[in-house]
Amino acid sequence: MRILFLTFLVLFFLQPLSAQYYNKEERLIIGLNGGLVKPLGDFAEESKLGTDLSLNTKILLNPRIAVGLSLGFMTFAQNDGLWAGDSRVKNDVKYQIIPIVFTGTYFFQAYDLDLRPYASIGFGYFFYRNQVESTPTNTYTPVKSEYTVSTHKFGLMPNVGFMYNISKTLAVDVNLKYTYIPNFEEKLEKKKLKPGFDENIVLTDLQKYRYLGFDKISSASLTVGLYYRF
């Protein structure tokens, strides 16, 4: 909220200077957004507040409608309420999501042509990666164990926001984004068995697989960006 408030404050003082910067002939907008992302639902039981970066392009078909592409990178830290529950082990856990999303955007008409509220929908591919490093705390010679779970899914990324022209070629962007990635399997990736393991021993699923703890990922991001207008 502090980022959003400061952005509105800057735009308020810039408004008298930028009323002439609207350009109905522009065709391409390219920019970089950065901000915070909050996990929601079951995913929030494992992870906590992280960062969201994205490179975005928009091609305007007319002054109101644009299509584009968004390439992002989200990273979440571990939720200590889950991962610090066992005092015998210290865990270092990282969650990463890389979205490659095609977008469609509709710009609403505003009283000031340089202020451009919009709504957008994105659909694309999401690469998910969870890396866990565990170190025993009850030994003088701790041996780290590591594992990584990764998969890729289709998902949705609707968002709303506004752009504001601050010069003939530059605009700032404030964006509130929701990410939804469904259809995660309950269990992913077989664990690697140690050399010499007796193959005649029947293992349970808990011994054979790594469990995610959720069947979908949802998150909310608030970002601010700077865009170049062609």
Buried b (16+ CB within 10 A) or exposed e, 130-161: bebebeeeeeeeeeeeeeebebebebbbebeb
- Show me where the domains of the chain are located: 2-229
* pLDDT (0 to 100) of residue 149: 86
Q: Which two tokens stand for residue 182?
A: 């469904």
Distance (Å, whole) CA 212 – CA 216 = 10
pTM of the model: 0.82
Asked whether the predicted pLDDT for residue 155 surpasses 90, the reply is yes
* pLDDT (0 to 100) of residue 18: 43
> Per residue in 206-221, pLDDT tens?
556 777 889 999 999 9
Domain 2-229, CATH number (from 3.40.250.10, 3.60.150.10, 2.40.160.20, 3.30.70.20): 2.40.160.20
Helix (H, G, I), strand (E, B) or coil at 114: coil
What mean pLDDT comes out for the span 71-100? 89
- Beta strand 47-60 with 65-78: parallel, antiparallel or unpaired? antiparallel
* pLDDT (0 to 100) of residue 193: 62
Question: Side-chain half-sphere of 212: how many Cα atoms within 13 Å?
Answer: 21
Q: Which two tokens stand for residue 164?
A: 């504001």
CB atoms within 10 A of CB 198: 6
> Per residue in 176-191, pLDDT tens?
999 999 999 877 766 6
Least-confidence region, from 55-69, 77-91, 125-139: 77-91
> What pLDDT band is residue 72 in, cutting at 50, 70 and 90?
very high
DSSP string covering 133-186, please? EEEESSSSS---EEEEEEEEEEEE--EEEEEEE-SSSEEEEEEEEEEEE----S
CB atoms within 10 A of CB 116: 22
> What pLDDT band is residue 143 in, cutting at 50, 70 and 90?
confident
> What pLDDT band is residue 3 in, cutting at 50, 70 and 90?
low
